[in-house]
Amino acid sequence: MFDREMPGEPNVPQLVSRIADARVFFAVLDPGYAERIGGDGVKQTLDGWVFDEHQTAIRFSNAGDLEVVGLWRHGKFLPTSCHEPSPGRRGNTCDVRQAGQLTEVLNRLFPRIKDPPGENTLVEARALLAKSHDDLRAGRYREALQRAAQLTTLLPNAVDGPVQMIRVARRAEWHDVALDASERALMLAPEHPELLVAAGNAAANGGDPHRAISYLGRFLETTPESSDFMTAQARLAMGSALDDVHQVFPAIAHCEVARSETGVDPNLCQTLAYLYRRISDPRRALEAAEEGLKMAPEHIGLLLHAVCANFECGRTSEARSALRKLESVSTDSDQVASLTRLLDLPPRSLLQPVELTPNPFWVTCSKCPAHVPARSLSSLICARCGSVLEDGQRACPNCASTGRLGLTMLDEAQWKCPYCRAGFLEVGQGR
């Protein structure tokens, strides 16, 4: 990263050549940068070292060797290749135009190392990290993990080693390793949002829903009202983990908040379709599946739910049509044969339905789609993960938080919704 406000002139050949050794390229964006790269309302100037370095970075990015991140410091327009996150679209640019934001972002990206090592140690550490990256790209996961572990031992006070171990373990789908590395990194950077999500996802993928809910709940507490891609993925993972501990309605609430804030995502729609079928609401399950299929028409999981939800709704002809589409893309002939036999039977629910207390109380939110049943007014809502608790539980059994919201208190004061963290909870009886 080169900042034009720093003293001295850049060594352009050296600057451009160093991009080949980088993993992330940070561009500090101002009107001058946009003028040289081009963008909406900006005339493009295809000249100068800024253009050269940007084009070099883009070529490496297109080859999968580099990630380009824009830090938008000044100006009204962004270069063509830079965009902020938007519903259903992951961004690559961070708006840091308010006073102090650039410093805050850079301090988070490049935290100071306690007891910094000497130059020789840093040279060895850079070499280990570079070789680990090379091994990872070549699919040599064990070698990549070994070098990352050596880096962790060499720089015990830096997160670089554990974070590289997370990258390798996620690619290799070694969920236990990813969780251990995430927890090690969190010891150095407590409450770091990305590390909390990494730990939550690793725990969820490794079959440990309680630890997943704990980490993901802590993340959502640190990012209230956030609607970016990472938050949406955290809500999706939270929903799946809550379903694993039989908190289906809070799971739906988290997933619906993600859908309302970030738009359609096929995997999110697949999870919602399954959750709605769990509560015997095949109509909403079908709506979620069809919405996801508009974006991913050959998504096998969505097609499967479309077949089953249509069948559960009594729409046999539509179910057969969805089955034909599934058969054209699926390699599981036994599954297709089983569904074909199923469609000759009378419609019924195919999943074990969630049992509700007769005439329950319903907890809703003034802003988000949350609609969560509670057994009685003595029930509690976990302020962190949104689980429904029984009276007398001192801590949430799912995320271990002691923050609880009593239903009897909702009429007396305004309590923030634990699902969207923007609206306020309300309670009533009857749908």
Q: What is the pLDDT of residue 62?
A: 79
User: Are 181 and 274 in a shared domain?
Assistant: no
Give residue 18's domain range: 12-109
User: Are 219 and 135 in a shared domain?
Assistant: yes
User: Are 29 and 49 in a shared domain?
Assistant: yes
Q: How many domains does the chain have?
A: 4
User: Would 306 be classed as within a structural domain?
Assistant: yes
Distance CA 203, CA 325 (A): 34
Q: What is the pLDDT of residue 69?
A: 86
User: Would 348 be classed as within a structural domain?
Assistant: no
- Give 10-residue mean pLDDT values along the chain (431 residues): 50 70 80 69 62 78 80 80 71 84 80 81 92 93 97 93 96 97 94 92 96 96 72 92 96 94 87 96 97 95 97 95 95 92 91 81 93 90 93 85 83 83 86 59
What's the DSSP call for residue 223?
Answer: S
Q: What is the pLDDT of residue 257?
A: 93
**Amino acid of residue 56:** T
Helix, strand, coil % over all residues of the chain, rounded to 5: 50, 10, 40
Distance CA 310, CA 302 (A): 12
Domain C-terminal end among 236, 270, 293: 236
Domain C-terminal end among 308, 342, 376: 342
Instruction: Catalogue the E-assigned strands of 21-171.
Output: 24-29, 67-72, 93-95
User: Are 292 and 321 in a shared domain?
Assistant: yes
Query: pTM of the prediction?
Result: 0.80
User: Would 201 be classed as within a structural domain?
Assistant: yes
User: Are 71 and 177 in a shared domain?
Assistant: no
User: Are 316 and 266 in a shared domain?
Assistant: yes
Q: What is the pLDDT of residue 10?
A: 60
Q: What is the pLDDT of residue 47?
A: 60
Q: What is the pLDDT of residue 4?
A: 43
Distance CA 93, CA 27 (A): 9
User: Are 86 and 160 in a shared domain?
Assistant: no
User: Would 332 be classed as within a structural domain?
Assistant: yes
Q: What is the pLDDT of residue 31?
A: 78
Contact 255, 236 (CB under 8 A): yes
Share of the chain above pLDDT 90, in %: 54
User: Would 372 be classed as within a structural domain?
Assistant: yes
Q: What CATH number has the domain bearing residue 293?
A: 1.25.40.10
Tell me the chain's radius of gyration from C-alpha atoms. 25
User: Are 105 and 43 in a shared domain?
Assistant: yes
Domain C-terminal end among 47, 81, 109: 109
User: Are 129 and 232 in a shared domain?
Assistant: yes
User: Are 222 and 284 in a shared domain?
Assistant: no
User: Are 196 and 139 in a shared domain?
Assistant: yes
**DSSP helix/strand/coil, 429:** strand
Q: What is the pLDDT of residues 348-394, one digit of tens each?
A: 989 888 887 777 899 999 999 999 999 888 889 999 999 999 877 77
User: Would 355 be classed as within a structural domain?
Assistant: no
Element (DSSP H or E) covering residue 95: strand 93-95
User: Would 253 be classed as within a structural domain?
Assistant: no
Distance CA 148, CA 170 (A): 13
User: Are 28 and 135 in a shared domain?
Assistant: no
User: Would 252 be classed as within a structural domain?
Assistant: no
Distance CA 30, CA 82 (A): 12
